[in-house]
Amino acid sequence: MRIAFFGVGHMGGPMAANLVKAGHEVLAFDLVPALLQEAVNAGASAADSPKQAVENAEVVISMLPSGAAAKGLYLGDDGILGAIGQDSLIIDCSTIDAATARDLAGAAADSGRVMIDAPVSGGVGGAKAGTLTFICGGPEDAVERARAVLECMGSKIFRAGDNGAGQVAKICNNMLLAVHMIGTAEALQLGVDHGLDPKVLSDIMFASSGRNWSLEVYNPWPGVMEGVPSSNDYQGGFGVNLMNKDLGLALEAALASKSATPMGALAKSLYGLHANAGNGGLDFSSIQRFFKHRDE
């Protein structure tokens, strides 16, 4: 298939490369020439302009940093929506607010085109390995149409509901992830403060009712687990700034629906303080450091 791909950054770069590996013809576009060159090195072609990228494209994929960027790309002054073929399928994989996702899909539908939201879980590692989870929102038949393409980049594909539902499910998951990561970190610090070995305590909680994903595959205490960011000075992984962005989206969504999210609000405050202390670029499990005694 001929696929136009917008945004070949940390996530989009390897995703586009996996589409090339699967035999698709990928026309990439990014605002950063060096990133576009990396996509070309991985076998994609560089589009001269956003509109040229979508010419004859059967599928259009975007992986952008924000809702404003997605709105600008599709509906801005030089927006591409009108240049996309009527039979093409549009898949926005960016993590953005559900309202913008619905607006974009609505504008696409008004012009006779089909768009779904398909944010991902799995991080840069999942993007490189082609094992992302896609959390889709949109009409059932459109999600089914997207499946063959998404399977080149991921291993699990869910349909959460109509347009915007993919974004809602994604931020619900990330809000819960933030909450259990913080809970895991504070429990580990409490145990260590009372003389426990963090590895022994982790094993006990993992075998008990405190078990959760952070304990299972992403332990935040340095040295407890190999191959995770906490054992690499919190480098790589999923950044504090990105977690902050997702928590902000969760709180915006909660405001819109008048939902009570006290744990999410606290998590947003803690990650905000952690970012402001200069940790925005570290992996989000570095919240462990927040609980460290300053007098040590």
Nearer to ligand NAD, 89 or 247 (CB): 247
Nearer to ligand NAD, 202 or 244 (CB): 244
- One of 5, 74, 238, 284 touching ligand NAD (CB under 6 A): 238
Tokens of 280: 């925005």
Q: Which stretch binds ligand NAD (CB under 6 A): 65-73, 79-87, 141-149, 222-230?
A: 65-73
Task: Please tell me whether residue 134 binds ligand NAD under the rule CB under 6 A.
Answer: no
- Contact status, residue 70 vs residue 94, Cβ threshold 8 Å: yes
Nearer to ligand NAD, 60 or 201 (CB): 60
Distance CA 164, CA 161 (A): 8
Give Cβ neighbours of residue 184 (< 8 Å, ≥ 6 apart).
Answer: 205, 210, 212, 214, 215, 219, 220
Interface with ligand NAD: number of residues (CB under 6 A): 24
Task: Please tell me whether residue 72 binds ligand NAD under the rule CB under 6 A.
Answer: yes
Half-sphere exposure in the Cβ direction for 281 (13 Å, CA): 3
Task: Please tell me whether residue 120 binds ligand NAD under the rule CB under 6 A.
Answer: yes
Place of tokens 């989870």: 133
Find the shortest distance in angstroms from Cβ 296 to ligand NAD. 31
What string of H, E and C letters represents the secondary structure of 148-193?
Answer: HHHCCCEEEEEEEECCCHHHHHHHHHHHHHHHHHHHHHHHHHHHHH
Task: Please tell me whether residue 36 binds ligand NAD under the rule CB under 6 A.
Answer: no
DSSP 291: G
Task: Please tell me whether residue 7 binds ligand NAD under the rule CB under 6 A.
Answer: yes
Residues in a beta bridge with 135 = 158
- One of 5, 12, 138, 282 touching ligand NAD (CB under 6 A): 12
Find the shortest distance in angstroms from Cβ 245 to ligand NAD. 6
* Nearest residue (beta carbon) to ligand NAD: 9
Find the shortest distance in angstroms from Cβ 106 to ligand NAD. 20
- Contact status, residue 85 vs residue 7, Cβ threshold 8 Å: no
The angle, 0 to 180 degrees and rounded to 10, between the axes of the packed helices 198-206 and 165-193 is 130
- Four-point Cα dihedral 150, 152, 153, 159, nearest 10: 20
- One of 27, 42, 60, 73 touching ligand NAD (CB under 6 A): 73
Distance CA 214, CA 114 (A): 37
- One of 2, 10, 102, 156 touching ligand NAD (CB under 6 A): 10
Nearer to ligand NAD, 109 or 124 (CB): 124
Of residues 170, 245, 258, 268, which has the active-site annotation? 170
**3-class SS of residue 261:** coil
Distance CA 23, CA 47 (A): 18
Distance CA 235, CA 217 (A): 16
- One of 32, 148, 255, 256 touching ligand NAD (CB under 6 A): 32
Tell me whether residue 170 is one of the annotated catalytic residues: yes
List, by residue number, the catalytic residues.
Answer: 170
Residues forming the site for ligand NAD (CB under 6 A) = 6-7, 9-12, 29-32, 35, 63-65, 69, 72-73, 94-95, 120, 123-124, 238, 242
